[in-house]
Amino acid sequence: MKHGKVFLIGAGPGDVELLTLKAVRAIGRAQVLFIDDLVNREVLQFAQPNARIIEVGKRGGCKSTPQAFIERQMIAAARRGATVARVKGGDPFVFGRGGEEVQALRAAGIEVEVVNGITAGLAAATSIGVPLTHRDLSHGVTFVTGHAREGGDAPDWPALARAATTLVIYMGMSNLDSIARALLAGGRAADTPVAVIQNATLKDQRELISTLRGIARAARAAELGSPAIVVVGEVVSLAQPRDLAWLAMQAA
């Protein structure tokens, strides 16, 4: 029997309207869907009514499905001839372990197609009117994880502090205090503007603007938590109150 194909799909940050047309089409072709817990379930409106939906939570702290188990299940489904959609939050190749899954699938002889999604860092910044680069303010942007693998290398915060480009930090909320301190120690100015955006593009989005010196305390006081994006850099000075029309559209 011919093996089925696996689509590794980025579902974007939350707002279902941010799905690409390619993602919608791939979701609609699948007989089996493996869905991560950060994915807005509204994407399932594009699935076939009789498709099998398998929830595979990966969120730190909660009960999560081991990576190897997910990979084995996908391989087994594809070997049975099913078209498989592996649906991940944001973009599958940005802190999504998409690279590992592609390697595992290819090693098993399964065809994979990766469909980009809008990564949370992009959407979070845009939702508050912040351009990640700007000719007057920032000549580049670095996407970095704030959550180093246990025993693994942490990001080089002093080097990132010196680089003076915009920093977009994923999974940084539990270490926000030490990240801010490391950037200050590395020489970033204490009054550098910082934004935290939680649940970006979803109805319950919350955001906070402060400075590098004040952000950890302010985020604690506001009880902001995961999933959130932290944006550090002068571009954050361009933040705008969220567009009310956009919010109204979300609610409609």
Nearest to 35 by CA among 240, 27, 170: 27
CB 117 within 8 A of CB 9: yes
Tell which positions 163-182 bind ligand SAH, by CB under 6 A: 170-171
Site string for ligand SAH, 99-138 (x = CB under 6 A): --------------------xx---x--------------
- Active site annotation includes 171: yes
Cα 181 → chain centroid: 24
239 binding ligand SAH? (CB under 6 A): no
Q: How many residues bind ligand SAH (CB under 6 A)?
A: 25
Residue 74: which residues within 8 A CB-CB, separation 6 or more? 6, 34, 84, 86, 101, 105, 110
84 binding ligand SAH? (CB under 6 A): no
52 strand-pairing partners: 32
89 binding ligand SAH? (CB under 6 A): yes
Give the helix/strand (H/E) hosting 99. helix 98-107
Cis peptide before 227 (omega within 30 of 0): yes
- Active site annotation includes 36: yes
Q: In the numeric block, which tokens belong to residue 59?
A: 């969120």
Nearer to ligand SAH, 165 or 198 (CB): 198
95 binding ligand SAH? (CB under 6 A): yes
Just list the catalytic residues. Answer: 36, 58, 171
Q: Give the residues lining the site for ligand SAH (CB under 6 A).
A: 13-14, 38, 88-91, 94-96, 119-120, 124, 170-171, 197-202, 226-229
